Amino acid sequence: MRITGVIQAGGKSTRMGGEPKALMRLAGRRIIERVLDAIEPAVDEVLLVTNTPEFYAFLRLPMVPDAYPEGGSLGGIFTGLKAAPGDAVFTVACDMPFVHADVARFVVSRAAEGDVVIPRVGDQLETMHAVYGKACLVPMEERLRAGRLKIVGFFDRVRVVEIAASEIAAWGDPAVVFMNVNTPDELMRARALAGEGA
């Protein structure tokens, strides 16, 4: 089974003051570089969904623009899945500084079990650290065209396999592994977790 890694970098970073959060530095490296290093060994190739390719040219990755620019995260996932040459995508957000290579490999290793393979932490399904198969394209696009952008909204139309937080915990605290950096406060917390001095 061919799995394409897709990094979602289409957001506007409004809560970070407009500066792309993926390019913020953490322990001397850009967050998106940390994400790429973690997922690259787990997948067959990586592509980037972004409407600002000039920001990410240094990564030397194939890039695709959002097919539904107002479609939020669902639009980004759909775009990556449609563009991917593989059977499925492993989608992650560009602002997850503690994505773990072993967790990525584990989620990807379960890809053949369902159309969506997704970790659950408490009440939260980690939609931006999940595998989506090509069978998701039609129900995703139907919802996008209807302006119904909740990612889990199409899950009743496909086979969903959940991965328990306890299975992730072997490699680290799931609350850290799946942490997003959306605000300056969250960036400060991430830097503290990464061992940076104040």
**Host domain of residue 11:** 3-193
The token pair at 28 is 């001397």
What is the structure's pLDDT at 3? 98
Q: What is the percent of the chain where pLDDT is above 70?
A: 94
Q: Any idea which of 14-18, 53-57, 87-91, 191-195 has the lowest mean pLDDT?
A: 14-18
What is the structure's pLDDT at 51? 92
In a domain, 176, yes or no: yes
In a domain, 111, yes or no: yes
Give the pLDDT band of residue 11 (cuts 50, 70, 90): low
What is the domain count for the chain?
A: 1
CATH (domain of 82): 3.90.550.10
In a domain, 198, yes or no: no
> Is it the case that residue 65 has pLDDT exceeding 60?
yes
75-131 confidence digits (pLDDT tens): 999 999 999 998 999 999 999 999 999 999 999 999 999 999 999 999 999 999 999
